[in-house]
Structure 1
Amino acid sequence: MSEIVGNSGAKTPKKSRQQDPEGTKRNIIEVAMREFADNGLSGARIDEIAAKTNASKRMIYYYFGDKDGLYLRCLEEAYRVVRSGEVELSLDHLDPIDALRRLVEFTFEHHNSHPDFIRMVMIENIHHGMFLKRSATIQQLNVTAIDNLRQICRRGVEAGVFRQGIEALDLHWHISALCFFNVSNRATFARIFDKSMDSAEEQHRLRNQVVTMILRYAIEAEAMEQVAQ
């Protein structure tokens, strides 16, 4: 443990990076995710990542093996964050309509505030999901997400407010598509139509529209009339 001299002249311990391996790994992943999101897997450089962290190249290779291993760990972290956020919503205590509404709101807001997640998913699609397929962690995280949505649908049907026959995976697809496009295609959409959708007012309006579209897809017509009133 090294020492530093304070204003009083007394020496105080200084925690080294070797004594906080988890903090060092978190720092590497945070910086690496931005590098991968900005430059893709092929364009990202370990030299650049090391220069922007508290770690050396040697330490990065020690923790993650190689650049592919670091990329996979960043991808797993990106999915872990969104799925952990869904769990923290604690939707079981809400009625099915409010639970679905809150889930859609969360997904829209999360994607909007985590553009690196969107870019990581886009990059992984360029690689045809090759790295995602390797990860049992991501597979399990997404199985849990579908199971939770399936429970919301089941409760909605039992309560007579959701129509029967909704596949949870289909519903997840529609929610993801609407929320994902809002970030992934924002730049091209703005250029093509000469209209920015970035403002807080525009994002609030779009979020409410997405919520309404998903609810109209899931809810029985009679129940939807009550929601609209």
Structure 2
Amino acid sequence: MSGDITTSRDADQTRQNILEVALKEFSEYGLTGARVDRIAKGTRTTKGMIYYHFGDKDGLYKAVLEEIYPKLRKSEEKLDKSNLSPIEELEKIIDFTFEYHKNNENFVRMVMIENINNGETLRKTDVDTGVSQNILMELSSILIRGQKEKVFNRNISPIDLHLLYTSFCFYRVSNHHTVSTVLGMNMLSSSNSIRHKRLVKDVIIAYLLSSEP
């Protein structure tokens, strides 16, 4: 019995190791340019074992997408947001989103690649709107609580609020190479990151506090 458990655990670790290396490969080269040989070389397994677990390169790419989206949300759900005011809770979520994108550039690059390819593979995965239901429900709760406590004056949908802060956090990472060239700013430097994090929170909170026109 213990041997079966060990074998299962080893298989899970092997699969996870493959997914981690594959994420780096796909985020750098895309689906077309990625090579299973390189992925195998970077793992503790063989090319044949990769095909055993994932079928083919397309299956591996699909599995990476099915890994990265839930991973973001699971990390988000681990935040301790007890006994926080609506503003404090929202700021904590924005802080998390800002840092997650900054520290997971490969995730950002994978999302960029999928958008370039019109999201074709993502639509074939198990990832759907359900993956974002918890964060949208939480944002809805924050907005309702903020209005009941007469803190927030604006009516905004949870999706629009999510898009508002996520877009800035994403753009800083997705476009930092081109912004460095055309604007001369390193958006990922420590000083700029600190300022930008405060900026996005201040702008969103100010909007929510302002009165409807």
Give the TM-score taking structure 1 as reference length.
Answer: 0.84
Superposition pairs of residues 1-229 of structure 1, within 5 angstroms:
20-220=10-210
CA RMSD of aligned residues (A): 1.8
Q: Deviation of residue 19 (structure 1)? A: 6.3
Q: For residues 199 and 90 of structure 1, what CA distance do their matches in structure 2 show?
A: 27
Do 2:14 and 2:44's aligned partners in 1 also have CA atoms closer than 8 Å?
yes
**Map of 2:3 onto structure 1:** none
Do 1:76 and 1:138's aligned partners in 2 also have CA atoms closer than 8 Å?
no
Which is worse superposed, 76-85 or 170-179? 76-85
Q: For residues 39 and 17 of structure 1, what CA distance do their matches in structure 2 show?
A: 32
Structure 2's unaligned 5+ residue stretches are: 1-5
- Runs (4+) of structure 1 exceeding 6 A deviation are 16-19
Q: For residues 8 and 35 of structure 2, what CA distance do their matches in structure 1 show?
A: 23
Structure 1's unaligned 5+ residue stretches are: 1-15, 222-229
Which is worse superposed, 36-45 or 163-172? 163-172
Aligned length: 206
Q: 1:217 to 1:132 in 2, by over 3 A?
A: farther
Do 1:17 and 1:54's aligned partners in 2 also have CA atoms closer than 8 Å?
no
Q: Deviation of residue 135 (structure 1)? A: 2.6
1:87 maps to amino acid: E
Choose between structure 1 and 2 for higher RCO, CA contacts under 8 A separated by at least 6 residues: 2
Q: For residues 136 and 123 of structure 2, what CA distance do their matches in structure 1 show?
A: 17
Q: Deviation of residue 173 (structure 1)? A: 0.8
Which is worse superposed, 182-191 or 194-203? 194-203
SS of 1:20's partner is helix
Do 2:66 and 2:126's aligned partners in 1 also have CA atoms closer than 8 Å?
no
Q: Deviation of residue 199 (structure 1)? A: 1.9
Which is worse superposed, 156-165 or 17-26? 17-26
Give the TM-score taking structure 2 as reference length.
Answer: 0.90
